[in-house]
A and B are shown apart, each in its own frame.
Chain A
């Protein structure tokens, strides 16, 4: 049924290795990996739109919707099944994206970035002022069951890690297909020359709209898993510096390979964890210098380092 190409085979292998390592690695590392993989899904949402020429400085909006849907589902609607909660998050996120997308796809580069930033700050403003949602403190996510099964305390984190790896792997394969598909190619074409795409009989606006919705969906999955893993949600998820971080990681990895955002997210998480421990007051500075180095020396991102100059070499 599913004929996997070379990259997809390696994706499956990497996922299996990660799953196996779950039992070897200390649980604080699996926790960091869970968060990194969940964050990588949001970064994929940024990357898809970046490949079409749009830089979203407000992807935190859908990351937050995904997270809060899980939190609110548990606290207010008494839904405690993980799969239903994640689906709820994706549905809410794609619903919001369906409306906002009509407006957002009319804009390009700086204006798209600023409007997306403004919209995510509006959500931030709404949540911060809302008492029932614990305003700036946010609130805890209740324990979840997985199709009825309720694992004991610490195992729950392991189950969430396994679930994240599997879902992230599935999405990675879908993204790989998408990037190499006709639609994926047209995406890059829109970035290069939107008018030509129009004169080839396609509607760039509807393709960007589809991108926007797809990115919103996987960002919500990222938000949902982050909420499940940390057990807490707060308005910080929609703040513009969080969205800035997603753009940072997207650039760190580069947009040319589906695995790049995953590797970049893990590296970012590790660099930040060590930087936080070593220099609690200047970890942001370290990240700032890393970003500058990437832009100056590796415009195509870390990925171009590893994949070598495949185009020129062929």
Chain B
């Protein structure tokens, strides 16, 4: 009589599968993981950082790691006694569920008191909720959606790079001045179809309302992230005949959009503006020596602005260490480490989280992004760093090879004009109470 499966055979199978489990049980240190700074035992505090290290956004991960190395080096060289920091960096693979998993490992297995980094706002939003649940401080260095400091704000979240609201505030002011000169009326908006794209539009519109800028919205387009073919959107944009097109496309998408638009007469009839990531060094390199006409761009950090001693030293140190010039992600990561170190020093302890939170609120720290005479500081209410922002046009400039163009004709905006008014913050936070952002 055939037994479905004789006990003996089943036992063999169960044993072999258990064997596989045990073989897999020895601790899997993820090879992709990078460790900087002091070893486990000697560090005052451990910082768990997450960046995309594979796929299209990998360049930002690489630059962030280099930025952190510079920060640790500056802390060591700096006279005043600084806390010894241990920095662990892992690959989020730009996937929220995976990043949440790494964050929990950092907290429970490595005892990290700080989380930092993250390029995509979606990933940052997921990890931010994990940070809140575990009462661990999270310092954003590269994601920009203003939702994290407004709707989904919580006590342990801080950000050390300009967010979408700040960039759009600078952009709205620039376009308001441009309207007084050229009287443009027709505006279109195109951004990637995910949280960051939609929040950028909300921030731009609320800034336009605050400044009383009247315009006719002739089109809004939402290509998906990493869209390879923008031609249908470019055709639709041309039919809408806008005078100004504001975009929140970033990195490879922004470059692809410009190159595809350049093969049409798009730039003869419209001016393209990108206030949050447009001036990134990676974009300048990709423009080669024939940039499209009329580009208006800004970014969270520029290699050639401000002309301050601190910024020049940061850029040169980076170039010496890495053999290339940094994208804006590097300065964000650098500021993150410097902020954490300053906060620990000010709070006097590396373990009392609440003391560090109060230390961070309102903390002033001179960063490469600050022009002479201004010092960045953390807004106590939104925990968003307050910095000046410079908007400019693309001009020939070969001081930073291989780029043949950089940004020039700067218009610089004071930091205080760019932060969201408290009333708007309260109003947006109350409206968020019922949605998926709201976190008990």
Direct touching of A and B (C-beta under 8 Å): yes
Q: Would you call B428 an interface residue if the criterion is a C-beta within 8 Å of the partner chain's C-beta atoms?
A: no
Within 258-295 of B, Cβ neighbours of A (below 8 Å) are at none
Q: Is the CB of A136 within 8 A of B4?
A: no
Whether A26 contacts B194 in the complex (CB less than 8 A), given A153-B133, A266-B21, A281-B54, comes out as no
- Chain A residue with the shortest CB-CB distance to B24: A270
Say yes or no: A231 contacts B130, CB within 8 Å.
Answer: yes
Could you tell me if A135 and B7 are in contact, using CB atoms closer than 8 angstroms? no
Residue pair B97, A234 in contact (C-beta under 8 Å): yes
Stretch at the interface among B25-33, B72-80, B233-241, B314-322: B25-33
Question: How distant is the Cα of A270 from the Cα of B316 in the complex, in angstroms?
Answer: 44
User: A110 vs B130: C-alpha distance in the bound complex, in angstroms?
Assistant: 43
A270 to B122, CA, bound (A): 27
Find A6's partner among B7, B31, B122 (CB 8 Å cutoff).
B7
Does A200 count as interface, using CB distance less than 8 angstroms? no
Interface size class of A (residues with CB under 8 A): 35 or more
Structural contact, B133 and A137, CB atoms closer than 8 A:
no
* A226-253 contact mask (Cβ, 8 Å, vs B): 1 or 0: 0000111010100000000000000000
For B2, the chain A residues whose CB sits under 8 A away are 310-311, 313-314
A180 to B198, CA, bound (A): 53
Interface membership of chain A positions 1-19, coded 1 if the CB is closer than 8 angstroms to chain B and 0 otherwise: 0000111001001100100
Q: Mark B13-42, 1 if CB is under 8 A from A, else 0.
A: 110111011001101101110000000000
Q: Could you tell me which residues of chain A, from 24 to 69, have a CB within 8 Å of some CB in chain B?
A: 24-29, 31
Q: How far is the CA of A10 from the CA of B6 in the complex (A)?
A: 11
B17 near A263: Cβ-Cβ < 8 Å: yes
Q: A26-B25, A281-B54 are in contact. Are A131 and B198 (CB under 8 A)?
A: yes
A210 proximal to B (CB < 8 A): no
A134, B224: Cβ atoms closer than 8 Å: no
Query: When the two chains form their complex, are residues B3 and A6 in contact, meaning their CB atoms are under 8 A apart?
Result: yes
Interface centre among A7, A137, A274 (most CB of B within 10 A): A137
The verdict on B96 contacting chain A, using a C-beta distance below 8 Å, is yes
Chain B residues 128 to 182 lying within 8 A of chain A, measured CB to CB, are: 129-130, 133-134
Q: Kindly report which residue of chain A lies nearest to residue B135, judged by CB atoms.
A: A153
A142 at the interface (CB under 8 A from B): yes
Q: Which residues of B contact A31 (CB under 8 A)?
A: 101
Q: Interface centre among A76, A142, A231, A266, by most B CB within 10 Å?
A: A231
Is the CB–CB distance between A27 and B5 below 8 Å?
A: no
Contact for A17 among B10, B12, B18, B54, CB less than 8 A: B18
In the complex, which residues of chain A have a beta carbon less than 8 angstroms from the beta carbon of B108?
27, 153-154
Within 8 A of A (CB), among B75-108: 91, 93, 95-97, 100-101, 104-105, 108
Render A287-314 as a binary contact track against B, CB cut-off 8 A, 1 for contact: 0000000000000000000111011011
Give the CA-CA distance A31 to B31 in the complex, in Å: 19
Instruction: Pick from B9, B53, B91, B123: contact of A306, CB below 8 A.
Output: B9
Chain A residues with Cβ below 8 Å from B389 are none
Q: Which of B370-378, B410-418, B432-440 contacts A (4 or more CB under 8 A)?
A: B432-440
A6 touches B100 (CB 8 A): no
Determine whether the beta carbon of A257 is less than 8 Å from that of B5: yes
Number of A-B contacts (CB under 8 A): 145
* Interface pair B25/A134, CB less than 8 Å apart: no
Q: Could you tell me if B440 and A142 are in contact, using CB atoms closer than 8 angstroms?
A: yes
Which residue of B has the minimal Cβ distance to A33? B21
Judge if A181 is at the interface, Cβ distance under 8 Å: no
Q: Given A26-B27, A232-B97, A307-B5, A277 and B32 touching (CB < 8 A)?
A: yes
Please tell me if the beta carbons of A270 and B4 are within 8 angstroms of each other in the complex. Answer: no
Is B121's beta carbon under 8 Å from chain A? Answer: yes
**Which residues from B are CB-within-8-Å of A7?**
4-5, 10
Residues of B within 8 A of A143 (CB): 133
B381, CB-defined interface residue at 8 Å: no
Chain A 197-235: CB-based contact to B (< 8 A → 1; otherwise 0) = 000000000000000000000000000000000111010
**Does chain B have a CB within 8 A of A280?**
yes
Query: Whole-angstrom distance from the CB of B223 to the nearest CB of chain A?
Result: 12
CA distance A57 to B296 in the complex (A): 47
Partner of A13, one of B14, B27, B97: B14
Contacts of A14 in B (CB 8 A): 14
Instruction: Check A230 against B125 for contact (C-beta < 8 Å).
Output: no
Q: Contact: B97 with A230, CB < 8 Å? A: yes
Q: A142-B439, A280-B54 are contacts. A134–B28 as well, Cβ < 8 Å?
A: no
21 A-B pairs in the complex with CB atoms less than 8 angstroms apart:
A10-B11, A14-B14, A21-B21, A25-B25, A26-B25, A28-B109, A29-B24, A75-B436, A76-B436, A128-B193, A140-B436, A157-B104, A230-B101, A231-B100, A259-B13, A273-B28, A277-B30, A277-B31, A306-B9, A307-B9, A310-B2
- Measuring CB to CB, which residues of chain B are less than 8 angstroms from any residue of chain A? 1-5, 7, 9-14, 16-18, 20-21, 24-25, 27-28, 30-32, 53-54, 91, 93, 95-97, 100-101, 104-105, 108-109, 120-123, 125-126, 129-130, 133-134, 193-195, 198, 224-225, 435-436, 438-440
Beyond the given pairs A257-B5, A306-B16, 11 more chain A to chain B contacts, judged by CB atoms under 8 angstroms and listed by A's residue number, are A7-B5, A134-B195, A136-B224, A139-B125, A140-B96, A157-B104, A231-B130, A266-B17, A278-B31, A280-B91, A313-B2
